[in-house]
Amino acid sequence: MRAVFVAAFVAFLISLFGTPIAIRYFTRLKADQPIRSEGPQTHLGKKGTPTMGGVVFIFATLVAYTGGHIALTTLPKAQLRPTGPTATAIVLLGLFVFTGLLGFLDDYLKVAKRNSDGLNKRGKLIGQALIGAIFGAIALYVPAEKTGHAVVTTVASPKLSWVHDIDWLNITKIGAVIFFVFVVMSMSNAVNLTDGLDGLATGTSILVLISYMAIAFWQYRHWCADPSYNAGYCYDVRDPLEMALIAGAAVGALVGFLWWNTSPARIFMGDTGSMALGSLIAGLAMATKTVLLLPLLGLLFVIIVVTWVMQIGSYRTTGKRIFRMVPLQHHFELAGWSEVNIVVRFWIIAGLGVAASLGLFAADFLRVMSGAS
């Protein structure tokens, strides 16, 4: 756990003190977020606020991951510490960085064109699909390796998972890669839709990533590959300590960024940050084998996507709107709620989903262990 805390603390410091530098730099470049004219009128006051802030916490996470690995060298080998970057790290950080680059391209085009269009929808979806397919193939096809007394699986599994693999839900490796792409695209766009109010996507992502840090570390402490672990229930995952390290680093980086991103925001994460965070969360869900738990764990993201789909579907079929505006946070803005009230209440909803998910994860472990005793 020491390495996870080191990574989180390093990322926090880099993000906390690095974000003001990014604010000054992007302000000087006039890289401010274009404001939609049809959006809530209160957003006109945000004009001039720089975007692309996701660059800061992506960089902070990468540096902190390296710092966490340095801390791992102080641990005894018996604790199954990874000696270098693993396949899991390549998949998770690869998704994080490359979807971040895709989002950066989108942000850059918005700034250059001085409008909110950016990269066209088809280009964005194709980019997400390609990135998801490349790292999905790595996650499913990089050969398993032997660690301790057990064979460690590939990063992701050809079986669908709840809090572990469901044996009868084998969708084959090709099907799993396609599903991997779907999860990456869904979460990347879900976090992107959630971003729009100061601190909303940042705070929600912190809650979700904290839960994945806890899940991954719990899996590390009850890992099938650990020869010293003899209890009746273990987790057949690959590199759980790496997952906890990456999630912890991302949490620390986001907390530092939130200091400047909370209302009134001095900088926005932009598509650079939101798309990167969504794909990282998707990768963690696949790697921890909790993908069917993700809709509850990311409850707020799901609510915002579902209401967005309902609005689009209703308008295209009947010409009528269900909500004043989507994404959902803007509906409440037009209803007269203050931005801070919306953000805090949405964080509460996100927290309820996280708490319920961790409760189900723990309940499954306790159920199996009580049955084995």
- Give me the count of residues in the chain: 373
Local confidence band at 367 (pLDDT 50, 70, 90 cut-offs): confident
Tokens linked to 34: 């274009």
pLDDT of amino acid 218? 94
Q: How far is CA 155 from CA 137, 298, 362, in A?
A: 10, 21, 22
Q: How far apart are CA 311 and CA 34, in angstroms?
A: 24
Average pLDDT of the chain is 89
Tokens linked to 60: 């902070």
Which neighbouring-strand residues pair with 32?
Answer: 50
pLDDT of amino acid 35? 66
Rounded to the nearest 5°, which phi and psi values hold at 197? -120, 150
- CB within 8 Å of 151: residues ≥ 6 apart: 144, 145
Q: Which residue has the higher pLDDT, 368 or 244?
A: 244
**Is pLDDT of 348 > 90?**
yes
pLDDT in tens, 7-52: 999 999 999 999 999 999 999 988 877 766 566 666 667 788 999 9
DSSP state of 77: G
- CB within 8 Å of 63: residues ≥ 6 apart: 10, 11, 14
User: Could you tell me if 309 and 326 are in contact, meaning their C-beta atoms sit under 8 angstroms apart?
Assistant: no
- What is the amino acid identity at position 104? F
Helix 339-372 and helix 200-221, axial crossing angle in degrees, nearest 10: 10
Helix 339-372 and helix 299-318, axial crossing angle in degrees, nearest 10: 120
**pLDDT, mean of residues 123-139:** 96
pLDDT of amino acid 359? 96
Annotated binding residues, written as ranges, equal 192, 271
Helices then strands (H, E): number in the chain? 12, 4
Residue of 200, 161, 192, 178 lying closest to 286 (CA atoms): 161
Local confidence band at 226 (pLDDT 50, 70, 90 cut-offs): confident
As a three-state string, the secondary structure of 104-170 is HHHHHHHHHHCCCCCCCHHHHHHHHHHHHHHHHHHHHHCCCEEECCEEECCCCCCEEECCCEEEEEE
Name the residue with tokens 């989002």.
103
Tokens linked to 187: 């979460």
pLDDT of amino acid 81? 61
**At 276, is the secondary structure helix, strand, or coil?**
helix
Annotated binding residues for Mg(2+), written as ranges, equal 192, 271
Q: How far apart are CA 293 and CA 358, in angstroms?
A: 9
How many Å from the N-terminal Cα to the C-terminal Cα in the chain? 28
**Is pLDDT of 298 > 60?**
yes
**Is pLDDT of 192 > 90?**
yes
Q: Which residue has the higher pLDDT, 81 or 229?
A: 229
Buried residues in 128-167 as b, exposed as e (16+ CB within 10 A): bbebbebbbbbbbebeeeebeebebbbbbbbbbbebbbee
- What is the amino acid identity at position 95? L
pLDDT of amino acid 75? 59
Tokens linked to 257: 């960024």
Percent of the chain whose predicted confidence (pLDDT) is above 90: 71
Any idea which of 18-27, 84-93, 173-182, 281-290 has the lowest mean pLDDT? 84-93
Local confidence band at 151 (pLDDT 50, 70, 90 cut-offs): low
**Is pLDDT of 320 > 60?**
yes
- CB within 8 Å of 43: residues ≥ 6 apart: 35, 36
User: Could you tell me if 331 and 323 are in contact, meaning their C-beta atoms sit under 8 angstroms apart?
Assistant: yes
**Is pLDDT of 60 > 80?**
yes
pLDDT of amino acid 114? 73
pLDDT of amino acid 149? 46
Residue of 250, 291, 237, 283 lying closest to 80 (CA atoms): 237
Q: What is the number of other CB atoms lying within 10 angstroms of the CB of residue 181? A: 21
